[in-house]
């Protein structure tokens, strides 16, 4: 499927994105790790792939990001033009 959107996400050392669910509608989201720092937490599980590895992000479910490493966490975020949920839910955090 074509790419709907793509952007770089950069989180400095010590940075944190609190646990939340993104506002909908939700499209299939992938990330490609560009640095060896930080971690995504999905449903309580730490996801820390290797540099250059693509992985699916469940942004329509609870997730957070932390970077306790000495360098920035840099990932390429890609939303494919594949609808996961049409629910136009608001951004929610715990």
Confidence at residue 89, expressed as pLDDT on a 0 to 100 scale = 80
Quick one: average pLDDT of 30-38? 96
Q: How far apart are CA 59 and CA 81, in angstroms?
A: 15
pTM of this structure: 0.88
Quick one: average pLDDT of 1-19? 95
Residues 40-70: pLDDT tens digits? 999 889 999 999 999 999 999 999 999 999 9
**N-to-C CA span, the chain:** 33
Closest by Cα among 34, 16, 32 to 79: 32
Site of tokens 């629910």:
87
Handedness of CA 11, 13, 15, 16 (dihedral sign): positive
Contact 24, 88 (CB under 8 A): yes
Task: Please report which confidence band the pLDDT of residue 10 belongs to, taking 50, 70 and 90 as the band edges.
Answer: very high
The domains found in the chain, sorted by start residue, are 3-87 (2.60.120.10)
């Amino acid at each position: 499927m074509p790419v709907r959107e793509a952007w770089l996400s950069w989180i400095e050392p010590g940075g944190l994105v609190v646990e939340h669910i993104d506002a909908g509608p939700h499209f299939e989201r992938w990330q490609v790790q560009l640095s060896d720092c930080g971690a995504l937490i999905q449903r309580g599980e730490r996801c820390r792939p290797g540099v250059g590895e693509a992985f699916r992000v469940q942004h329509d479910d609870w997730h957070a990001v932390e970077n306790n490493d000495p360098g920035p966490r840099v990932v390429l975020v890609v939303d494919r033009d594949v609808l996961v949920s049409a629910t136009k839910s608001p951004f929610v955090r715990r």
